[in-house]
Amino acid sequence: MRLATLLLIATSGVAFSQKKMKVDEIYGQYCSGCHGAKFEGGMGGSLVDGEWKHGSKDEDLYRSIAKGNPQLGMTPWEGVLSADQIRSLVIFLREKEKQTLTKGIEYPKPSPDKVTKTELHDYRIETVVDGGLKSPWAIAFLPDGSRLVTEKPGRLRLVDAKGVLDPEPVKGLPHVVEQGQGGLMEVAVHPDYKKNGWIYLGFADGEKGDKKCITAVVRGRIKDKEWTDQEWIYRPDPKFRSNAGVHFGTRFVFDKGYLYFPIGERGGMMEAQKLSSPVGKIFRLHDDGRVPKDNPFVKDKEAIPAIWSIGHRNPQGLTMDPRDGALYNTEHGPRGGDELNLVKPGSNYGWPVITYGMNYDGTPMVSITEKEGMEQPLTYWVPSIATCGLDCYTGEKFPKWKHDLLVGALAQQEVRRVRMKDKKVVSQEIILKNIGRVRDVTGAPDGFIYVILNGPDRIIRLVPAD
Ligand code: HEC
């Protein structure tokens, strides 16, 4: 009898884990009976009113679910549900809570004919390029007021100081593989561009006729609308190329003769933890491609010596605060796990061992969010905002925003202004929302804030209202 019961538990346990329940199914099966199909409460309280009797932190919710409160009718779920399932419920409840609490909040939709008000500055938007661009990804500013814009399918476009888009792309670019999220991505000009003319490109590199690719970095010059003098800055071993269409990373930061840039983990997950693989890393090189002698892993024979930090998923934002040299990155995590990080040499940002997220289909991922030897994000966003583009604003046109971080977001279609103090997040404000997926946001040398939007594809800028 006892044996039979044990067997039953054991077999049902196997069947259970094979089913890979999604979090909404877990909620529907185990929780909705008491907390309501819409989380509104019943025999148990509302889970979306922002009020938590037993503490409002993630770990409090986790404890409430795991340990329950049998005297008051809340089942302890530990043992019935696995740790990663309970963790996915916490993320799920956080998503629902946020959605409920922000429901009905209207954001003024920015448009050229009206002023958009924010806490510290009011602005108007101006359209810089409207139409003629396909999947624009990044923008760089030349000293004569003209701009370079990358298009994901592999074209580099010129926009003159008046905003006129040259119908002809720059000729003679390296071969770019357009594969899923990858293609021609980042463009930046060297800080001494006036003297040396160097332009840097980050793109999905591979052979013609083959979709296998990985992010690589070149520099070159543009003469008579043609790419010339090309030099490879970082080209991973071709053995790391893959067909995966995801997680290319790619943004550039120059500082004191160094170039910093990320490569996403290309779907390789645990590869992000391996020092012998270039995926899921942030790199530091001299701006001519040489490896700095004091990089953190140069003495490790197995390691790729250009690596600066490890354990990243898909970093598509990178910026430096010029006041203290703090390097920040934003990265797409799994669902509920988008992060802002302070990037320190030799540090491990934990992907995929720790994360605040779960799988996008709602199946649990991991139960742990912290581990010794792994860094914590400065903040993370639930629900995910799909971070893309990050800039420490240093212009003069919006003086009260100086040194705030501007965070772009694709899915939530927004630009957030993040105030930092002592390298910590003190507040956030959504300053632009609902006019398109934000691919990049950056302060220009003229102090205006440029925003690249995907769908509809265009470039706008924010100018002070007065
Ligand atoms: C049999 C009814 C019942 C079921 C089933 C149930 N709960 Fe509860 N739950 C309660 C009650 C009653 C409380 C209030 C207990 C208290 O006040 O301490 C509660 C409290 C909670 C709290 C703490 C709320 C707070 O204010 O701090 C959380 C979180 C929670 N439940 C989540 C869940 C989740 C997730 C599930 C499904 C895995 C679930 N509950 C299933 C009855 C239930």
Please write the tens of the pLDDT for every residue from 130-163.
999 999 999 999 999 999 999 999 999 999 999 9
**Mean per-residue pLDDT for 380-398?**
97
For residues 35-61, give the mean pLDDT.
95
- Characterise 455 by phi-psi region: left (phi > 0), alpha (psi -120 to 50), beta (else): left
Q: Residue 18's pLDDT band (boundaries 50, 70, 90)?
A: low
Burial annotation 140-157 (CB, 10 A radius, 16+ → b, else e): bbbeeebbbbbbbebbbb
DSSP string, 9-74: HHHHHHHHHHH---HHHHHHHHTHHHH-TTS--SSS--SSSS--TT-SSHHHHHHHHHH-BGGGTB
Q: Which tens digit of pLDDT belongs to each residue from 325-383?
A: 999 999 999 999 999 999 999 999 999 999 999 999 999 999 999 999 999 999 999 99
Q: How far is the CA of 21 from the centre of ligand 1 (A)?
A: 20
Residue 354 near residue 376, CB atoms below 8 Å? no
pLDDT at res. 9: 44
Catalytic residue among 247, 286, 332, 403: 247
Tell me the CA–centroid distance for residue 60 and ligand 1, in Å.
12
Give 427's Cβ-side CA count (13 Å radius).
6
Percentage of residues in the chain with pLDDT exceeding 70? 96
* Gap between the Cα atoms of 75 and 43, Å rounded: 12
Q: Average pLDDT for residues 235-243, to the nearest whole number?
A: 97
Greater pLDDT, 220 or 107: 220
* Mean pLDDT along residues 452-457: 94
- Regarding the beta carbon of 31 and ligand 1, being less than 6 Å apart is answered yes
The answer to whether the CB of 156 is under 6 A from ligand 1 is no
Answer with the residue of higher pLDDT: 197 or 107. Answer: 197
Residue 65's φ and ψ, nearest 5 degrees, are -75, -45
- pLDDT, residue 193, reads 98
Q: pTM for this structure?
A: 0.93
- Cα(98) to centroid(ligand 1), Å: 18
Ligand 1 lined by 1 (C-beta under 6 Å): no
Each residue's pLDDT tens digit, 281-290 = 999 999 999 9
DSSP output for 333-370: -SBT-EEEEE--TT-B--TTTS-S-B-TTS----S-S-
pLDDT at residue 440 above 60? Answer: yes
At residue 292, φ and ψ (nearest 5 deg) are -65, 140
Q: For residues 461 and 449, give the distance between their C-alpha atoms in angstroms, rounded to a whole number.
A: 5
Ligand 1 centroid, distance to 355 Cα (angstroms):
25
Tell me the mean pLDDT in the region 166-182.
97
Q: Which residue ranges form the domains of the chain, and what is each CATH number?
A: 17-102 (1.10.760.10), 116-464 (2.120.10.30)
pLDDT of residue 19: 64
pLDDT beyond 80 at 56: yes
Is 247 known to be catalytic?
Answer: yes
Task: Judge if the beta carbon of residue 65 lies within 6 A of ligand 1.
Answer: yes
Q: Is the CB of 53 under 6 A from ligand 1?
A: yes
**Model confidence pLDDT, tens digit, residues 186-214:** 999 999 999 999 999 999 999 999 999 99
Mutate to test the pocket of ligand 1, among 65, 74, 77 (most ligand atoms within 8 A of CB): 74
Pair 40, 91: CB distance under 8 Å: no
The 10 Å CB-count burial string (b at 16+, else e) for 73-97 is: ebeebeeebbeebbbbbbbbbbbbb
Q: What is the mean pLDDT of residues 42-47?
A: 95
Per-residue confidence (pLDDT) for residue 106, from 0 to 100:
86
Mean pLDDT (the chain) is 94
Three-class SS of residue 81? Answer: strand
Q: Which two tokens stand for residue 266?
A: 């290309």
Contact 353, 273 (CB under 8 A): yes
Q: Where are the beta strands (DSSP E) in 264-360?
A: 281-286, 307-310, 314-321, 326-332, 338-342
Q: Is the CB of 54 under 6 A from ligand 1?
A: yes
